[in-house]
Amino acid sequence: MTQGQAGPSLLSMRLSQVAPLDGADLAALQDAERETRVFRARSEMVREGESLVPRRALLAGWACHQRILIDGQRQILSFLVPGDLIGPHPHTQAIAPTTVLAVSEVATCLLPQAKPTTALAEAYARSAAFEHHYLMAQVTRIGRLDAYQRIADWLLETCDRLTLVGLATPLQFALPLTQELLADTLGLTSVHVNRMMQMLRRDDLLKSSGGVFTFPDRLRLERLVDYKPVRVSS
């Protein structure tokens, strides 16, 4: 599960979609992926307030940024899927703004240092911009969409993110998350997430079996929530 397949490495693939990398960058990334560190499911990969250096990237499995409130409630801020960088904004002495939790078993590698003004640095900066975008989408989602739309919108975004790294097609993807995780992401209860997903299925906007989800009519789903894919540069 933590083994990358041969061929262009995951990080190279992901980051060169974001900015045009040169051979040295690609080699450095490919090199970095050789030495992985694995985290067990449910382990805390980074604790809130810890140092964020050295930086790592996610190679396999799912993780999330989460925050726990005093009353025990949890808010998941975002998920990390393979190819994502762990922790935004690498400034000196940066500290983790949240706990990073491994949702499944997870493999990570160290991220090569990027010299300023190189293409790699640019790729990192754009990745941060992507993360920022996803957070803003998250605010809009839970601030202004109802439960039905929240789920639809989130599923579309997640499918697109997975597609970016070749783990999905625009119409189908595997989702190894419980409805409770979804609920804690979308500001709902798991009971209500369950009800709304049933409704999406009843409305023929979603099919699922064995953790694999399919959009029978993606266009209709997109119109339902006015879905727009993320763009961070011209």
Partner DNA sequence: CGATCGTTTGACAAGGGTCAAAATGCGTGG
Partner DNA sequence: CCACGCATTTTGACCCTTGTCAAACGATCG
Question: How near is the Cβ of 113 to its own copies at its closest, in Å?
Answer: 12
d(CA 183, CA 74): 10
Contact flags string 171-190 toward its own copies, x per CB under 8 A: --------------xxx---
Nearest residue to 165 (alpha-carbon basis) of 2, 18, 6: 18
Does 223 contact DNA by CB under 7 A? Answer: no
Q: Tell the burial category of 202 from Cβ atoms under 10 Å away from its Cβ (0-12, 13-18, 19+).
A: exposed
Site for DNA in 109-168 (CB under 7 A): 146-148
d(CA 177, CA 213): 12
Does 144 contact its own copies by CB under 8 A? Answer: yes
Q: If contact means CB under 5 to 8 A according to the sort of partner, which of DNA, its own copies, none does residue 93 touch?
A: its own copies
Does 76 contact DNA by CB under 7 A? Answer: no
Stretch that binds its own copies, among 9-17, 32-40, 70-78, 162-170 (CB under 8 A): 70-78
Q: How many CB atoms lie within 10 A of CB 82?
A: 24
Does 84 contact its own copies by CB under 8 A? Answer: no
Find the helix or strand (DSSP H, E) in which 74 lies. Answer: strand 74-80
Question: How near is the Cβ of 47 to DNA at its closest, in Å?
Answer: 22
Find the helix or strand (DSSP H, E) in which 27 lies. Answer: helix 23-32
d(CA 228, CA 214): 19
Site of interaction with its own copies (CB under 8 A)? 49, 51, 65, 67, 69-70, 73-75, 77, 88-95, 97-98, 116-117, 122, 125-126, 128-129, 131-133, 135-136, 138-140, 142-144, 185-187, 226, 231-234
